[in-house]
Each structure stands twice: as C-alpha cells, then as structure tokens.
Amino acid sequence: MGGSAFSNKGIITPRMSPATYNRLKSKYYDILTTLYGHVTTPPEAPGKTSYGDLDYLVAGPIPKIKAGGEGENGGISHATTMADVKVAFGAEYMTAVAGATTSFAVLVEPDQDGDGKVEDKVYAQVDVHVCTSAETMWWISFKHSYGDLWSILGMMGRAKGLVADEKCLNVRIKEIEDHNRELAKVELTRSVSETLEFFGLDVERFEMGFENVEEIYEFAVQSRFF
C-alpha cells in the first residue's frame, strides 16, 4: 500500500522470508488490536517466496483514557493517532501523515555473519491504512486479496458495466460516463458476500482461501460473467 516508502532515505528494507514475514505479521497485528477495534491484513497471493512489506487495514480507533478518573485531568484523552502507533511499534521512522496510509520502519533483529560481525541495521516496512469504517476495511481487504483476484474479476465485470472503487461495487451509466465518470457510477453494494454472489461465486469457497494460483483461476472462472 505504501510502496517503497524509505528507499530514498538510506533505510534498508530488504524483502522478507516467509518465516520473518509471518513472525512480524503476528507481532504487529497483536499490537494494532490494542489500538483499533478492527484490524486485518488482505490475504496474500499464494506461493510467494518473499515479501516486500507488511500491510494492515484498521478501523475504529480505541480512545485513550487518562489516569485520574473524571475531571479536568481525567477521562477520555484522544483516539489512536499515528504517533501512538509509532510508539507501540517501537518504530524508528515513519512517513509524514498524508492520506490514509502511513508507513513505519521497524528494526528487524540483525543476523551475524560467520565472523560474528553484526550486519548493518535492517528494517521492515509496515504500512497501516486507516479506514473510515469496518465495512470499508473488509471491502478494501477483498479488493486487494490474493494478489490479482480482483483484477481478474474486474475485467469480467467491466464488460457488463460493473466497476469497483475503494468503497463499493458500482454499475456505470454509459450515457453519463462520457461527461462525468464519477457521476456515472451508481452504487450497488458494499458487501463482499453480496458482490461474490452477484458474480455467481461461492462465498464459503472464497473464505476458505487458496493454496495456489491454480485454485484462484479455478474459482474465478466459475463466475457467471466469465
């Protein structure tokens, strides 16, 4: 989501092995659940041998409570901010907060070479995308799930006048589109399950996940729009 956010700052964020990725994914997921009511990671494309960064979608910031009870110095202080996330992650660097996605550089435990020398500091990039609601969070997760799944389904849908943005599934009104592409979109649904059903796909099969790319293709071609 955040691209290579630190490549121009001399901060090394090499690709991660599956073992490192899964270890960090679990660690920072647990941290984010203390800061947000809803947290998820879009399901990764199956069969990947390395990972460039960690992507999290969050919604529902949890208010921070000041000590001291009620009164001038007590009670609710503020909802979670990116500064809170930086502290909770123990991140050494973060990008400027501009838009919904903020990237953090977290230190990965260094390896030692055969001579016992510690390598240069190595970081992992963690991207946190704040969604306006849990519904939006699950929709974005769906759109970015399993690599190119939505790209495949999206091509089928476009042939029928369907287009998805980061909020919902829409139908395009051709007579309006030439004049205003945004006004030409009419919202159909924000529900992942309704979208899959509309495409003629098995919701339970999608939720089971996919072990390899072939399973994704086999799922996609079951669509009534294929």
CATH no., domain 7-133:
3.30.460.10
Q: Inform me whether the pLDDT recorded for 131 exceeds 90.
A: yes
pLDDT in tens, 8-49: 788 889 999 999 999 999 999 999 999 999 999 999 999 899
Q: What is the mean pLDDT of the chain?
A: 89
Task: For residue 207, count other CB atoms closer than 10 A to its CB.
Answer: 11
| 93 vs 105: CA distance, rounded Å | 5
Instruction: Answer positive or negative: Cα dihedral of 48, 53, 54, 60.
Output: negative
**pLDDT at residue 90 above 80?**
yes
Per-residue model confidence (pLDDT) at position 217: 95
Q: Residue 67's pLDDT is what? A: 59
Which carries the bigger pLDDT value, residue 105 or residue 4?
105
pTM: 0.85
pLDDT at 82: 94
Residue 118: the pLDDT is 52
The 10 Å Cβ neighbour count of residue 26 is: 10
For the chain, domain boundaries: 7-133, 146-220
Tens digits of residue pLDDT in 144-172: 999 889 999 999 999 999 999 999 999 99
From 119, 45, 35, 113, select the one nearest 81 (Cα to Cα): 35
Per-residue pLDDT, averaged over 117-143, amounts to 90
The whole-number pLDDT of residue 113 equals 53
- Report percent pLDDT > 70 for the chain: 89
Confidence of residue 98 (pLDDT cuts 50, 70, 90): confident
Amino acid (one-letter) located at 140? I
pLDDT of residue 4: 79
Q: Are strands 169-172 and 185-189 parallel, antiparallel or unpaired?
A: antiparallel
